[in-house]
Structure 1
Amino acid sequence: MADVVSLKADGAPSPLIVEAADGILRLTLNSPPANALSIAMMETLKAEILRAGADKAVRVIILAARGKVFCAGHDLKEMTAHRADADRGKAFFEKTFALCAELMLTITHCPKPVIAEIEGLATAAGCQLVATCDLAICTDAATFCTPGVNIGLFCSTPMVAVSRAAHRKQAMEMLLTGETIDASNAKDFGLVNRIVPKEYLRQVVDKYAAVIASKSPLTLKIGKEAFYRQIDMPLEEAYAYSGRVMTENMLARDAEEGIAAFLGKRHPEWTGE
């Protein structure tokens, strides 16, 4: 992939390195060593995902990071600086957590699948970011934690994503102890899909992305939206809803083409309609 954007217009380093090729958009957090979710990082990441969601050329999004830490969560130095404000930082804290929620919802609502590529530590809101992505692939040296309880700040917003990705008791274990878990436990907990050796991480993630990018973009959009909508519905309601979704999907040109290609033993030609 060719590097598309790594500098801002003023020549300063961008919080993100943006690469695109063959329908795959790679967004690399570019603020080592912590790759913290500062206001600038969250605004930039949200804007790129929104843009990618509307870009027909993008089929899949990968979130990666430079350095030994995938993401250390919110920028505590940035937040602490606002304790000197007249309101002791209340307005800035509200802004930070609201923007973080907007970012996570932008990932969930994005019509394109989002894959997290994790090398190193994902902690607090960084762990939330991993849990929010549709798929997560990490190295065998990756680690994860929600350590807010250790500093008197329960990881309440990371809890929203982690409790929906991990099994309930494992999520509570992470939240109550603040302890770091390794890649193997993260997979057992349900936070990541696969663990691969460091030297093969990008290769494996790119392969997954390429496989997904080869599917009908309309079908991926329909399926991702339906997955997140039905998952918290009562069983009967989920079946009724998914039945309506499949009916509409069957009427799409891509479904007609895909089924005809399968029956005709040929490769489908997707139009996204």
Structure 2
Amino acid sequence: MTILHRNDAASVATLTMDAPERLNALSDDMLAALTSAFDDIAADASVRAVILRGTGKAFCAGHDLKEMQAGRQAPDGGAAYFKDLFDRCATMMQRIQSMPQPVIAQVHGIATAAGCQLVATCDMAIAADDTRFGVNGVNIGLFCSTPMVALTRNIGRKAAFEMLTTGRFVDAREAQDLGLINRAVHADALERETSELAQSIAKKLPAAVKIGKQAFYAQAQMSTAEAYAYAGDVMVQNMLIADTDEGINAFLGKRPPNWS
């Protein structure tokens, strides 16, 4: 059974997690499928934007707890398996932000624990207005330490710490206010709104978007002075692209750009 489907149309790759009976949990198989798909898309110059979504009642409910409990049967109580699991998950999450194409999460139902981490990791997110978000592992005695990494890079520290320590869920409107998602829309408009955002990005110069995405995450780790110096160098690289020259000339000439 295929648990991840890819469909390409109009320069947008749509990845659909299809394990509804497990609420699209990040099982070993799902992690492997997502990592492979993101690697393939990153090398595919025909793809300019990516949509990640799920089937069934949930976007993603986090790690597969049944698999995790089965890992305890090892002689070391599961220590090696757990370390490998969280390392593989971190690799997949970081791949999303290192690939050249922007990735948009199309979220519905629930996004919990590592599923919420997945939303926070994607470059953008559109959610149905009845979606709920939570880093609720603390409710079962497991603090969401790895989801915390992505969450605290999206929202304020105090709000993040409250979610992490109480297991409280937030609705889509609050998630938007906190900065976890770009916007909440009516469920009937979710697919259309996400597609329109992806298509808007797909129409831009791919080389500029690639340079910009890389710079966006790199500068965020720097001091202000370092970031300006780095970003200035990036602007120079961007200006020297032939298609950027064409884009500026087209703007000045009040005509559409003829990008290669």
- Aligned-partner Cα distance in 1 for 2:2–2:256: 40
| Structure 2 match to 1:4 | none
- Aligned-partner Cα distance in 1 for 2:24–2:90: 18
**For residues 1-273 of structure 1, what are the structure 2 equivalents within 5 Å?**
13-33=1-21, 34-271=23-260
- Aligned-partner Cα distance in 1 for 2:242–2:232: 18
Provide the TM-score with structure 2 as the length reference.
Answer: 0.98
- Aligned-partner Cα distance in 2 for 1:153–1:161: 17
- Deviations 1:73-128, CA, capped at 9 Å, x for gaps: 00010110111111111111111100000000100101000000001100000000
- Deviations 1:207-233, CA, capped at 9 Å, x for gaps: 110010000000000000000000121
- Aligned-partner Cα distance in 2 for 1:215–1:191: 24
Give the drift of 1:183: 0.6
Q: With a CA cutoff of 8 Å and minimum separation of 6, indicate the structure with the bigger relative contact order.
A: 2
- Deviations 1:24-44, CA, capped at 9 Å, x for gaps: 000011001310001110111
- Aligned-partner Cα distance in 1 for 2:208–2:156: 28
- Aligned-partner Cα distance in 2 for 1:112–1:208: 13
**Aligned with 1:233: secondary structure?**
coil
Give the drift of 1:179: 0.8
How many residues get paired?
Answer: 259
State the identity as a percent.
51
- Aligned-partner Cα distance in 1 for 2:122–2:44: 19
- Aligned-partner Cα distance in 2 for 1:123–1:213: 29
**Aligned with 2:52: secondary structure?**
strand
- Deviations 1:164-184, CA, capped at 9 Å, x for gaps: 011111111111111111011
Give the drift of 1:270: 2.3
4+ residue stretches of structure 1 with deviation over 4 A?
none
- Aligned-partner Cα distance in 2 for 1:47–1:84: 28
Provide the TM-score with structure 1 as the length reference.
Answer: 0.94
Unaligned runs of 5+ in 2: none
- Deviations 1:233-254, CA, capped at 9 Å, x for gaps: 1111110100010011100112
- Aligned-partner Cα distance in 2 for 1:39–1:16: 13
**Aligned with 1:69: secondary structure?**
coil
